[in-house]
Amino acid sequence: MAKTSWRARVGAWVGGFGIPGGFDATSGQRRLKGFTTSRAHVNALIAASGPEMNARARWLVRNNGYANNAIESWAANTVGNGISPNSTIAQASRKDALQRLWLAWTDEADAEGLTDFYGLQRRAAREVFMTGEVFLRFRPRRADDGLVVPLQMQMLPSEMLPLSHNAVAAGGNVIRQGIEFTSIGHRVAYHFLRRHPGDSTDPGLSGETVRVPASEVLHIIDPVEAGQLRGVSRFAPAIVKLFLLDQYDDAELDRKKVAAMYAMFVTSPAPDIPLKPLDPDAPLDQYEVAPGQVVRLDPGEEVTVSAPADSGGTYEPFQYRNRLHRHGRANLARAATRRCGSP
């Protein structure tokens, strides 16, 4: 009788449980039958889904109160009072002059002229939360521009660096998702669009790109996977639930609105002169209902008062629990931010 190897015996023993490899996480049993995954690298996933994911994240911030509150809390706790440098110059007069020069520059730092340096930090924190990244371009100015320091910063959102821009540059460098790399992987340039792809109010130069040296660009990003080139929205794990929660809230509000109305239905045995609606221009099968209204019916007609479902007993506890969880997460975020040394 042939001797069975220990590998075969172990394989038969493990296989007897119907678990290939011995890990529940890899099984195809009933509980994980619908668990489909992708082996694509995060860069490929961002290239395929990034534009739509960013668009949905921005939509939620504009239209969803929970999303807007989350991003405002993140920006406030991340930036705090902003970067406040403290000079180590020993001479008091020079230190005071440098401090005054810094404060004067912060007022003029924004190339768009809409905010100051600290406002740029808050906007950058918001962009990083929404799209996972943001770009700041140094814009040197001429001496005759009248600035205290001939330097400003221009904020560029994620959409300004096209994810679809992949090519080989003239010098042999590789361009991946708008970023130009040397043969050893150093970033040497960014190929930005001249105009925002979604801004139809400024159609000029649409689709054209400009090469900006990497030394003139700050790419603010928090990569979560090795080799990641572009950012991922922090809303990504919550977009589906936020959208469904928004729909649930709307449905509950509509249900309560209908339940609070005194709606009635008229059943008529087809009289010769049907009951006329209050609005002469409205169809004959529509009636306007007002609070406290008394309607005189034609002979033979009956009124049935509607009784819409009003079983919202679980809605208020659900919202209360959500508020507690949101407040708890906000407190944890503030505590974590303080531990990281932010103001």
Residues pairing with 211 in the sheet: 191
Q: How far apart, in whole angstroms, are the C-alpha atoms of residue 299 and residue 305? A: 18
Q: How far apart, in whole angstroms, are the C-alpha atoms of residue 218 and residue 192? A: 13
Q: Is residue 30 in a domain?
A: no
Q: Are residues 176 and 271 in the same domain?
A: no
Write out the chain's pLDDT in tens, 343 residues. 556 666 666 555 555 554 455 677 877 778 888 888 889 999 999 999 999 999 999 999 999 988 999 999 999 998 888 888 888 888 999 999 999 999 999 999 999 999 999 999 999 999 999 999 999 999 999 999 999 999 999 999 999 999 999 999 988 999 999 999 999 999 999 999 999 998 888 877 777 899 999 999 999 998 889 999 999 999 999 999 999 988 888 888 877 777 776 556 566 666 555 555 555 565 555 556 565 566 666 667 676 666 666 556 666 666 666 665 555 555 545 554 444 444 4
Q: Are residues 194 and 82 in the same domain?
A: yes
Q: Are residues 105 and 227 in the same domain?
A: yes
Q: Is residue 58 in a domain?
A: yes
DSSP strand pairing (167-168 vs 151-156)? unpaired
Q: Are residues 186 and 69 in the same domain?
A: yes
Q: How far apart, in whole angstroms, are the C-alpha atoms of residue 218 and residue 39? A: 31
The number of folded domains in the chain is: 2
Q: Is residue 128 in a domain?
A: yes
Q: Are residues 119 and 224 in the same domain?
A: yes
Classify residue 133 by burial, with Cβ atoms within 10 Å: 0-12, 13-18, 19+: buried
Q: Are residues 129 and 276 in the same domain?
A: no
Which residues fall within 8 angstroms of residue 21, CB to CB, at 6 or more apart? 14
Q: Are residues 205 and 67 in the same domain?
A: yes
Q: Are residues 59 and 200 in the same domain?
A: yes
Domain that holds residue 291: 261-339
Q: Are residues 77 and 208 in the same domain?
A: yes
Q: Is residue 24 in a domain?
A: no
Q: Answer left, alpha or beta for residue 171, where phi above 0 means left and psi between -120 and 50 means alpha.
A: alpha
Q: How far apart, in whole angstroms, are the C-alpha atoms of residue 6 and residue 8? A: 5
The predicted structure's pLDDT at residue 153: 96
Q: Is residue 175 in a domain?
A: yes
pTM of the model: 0.73
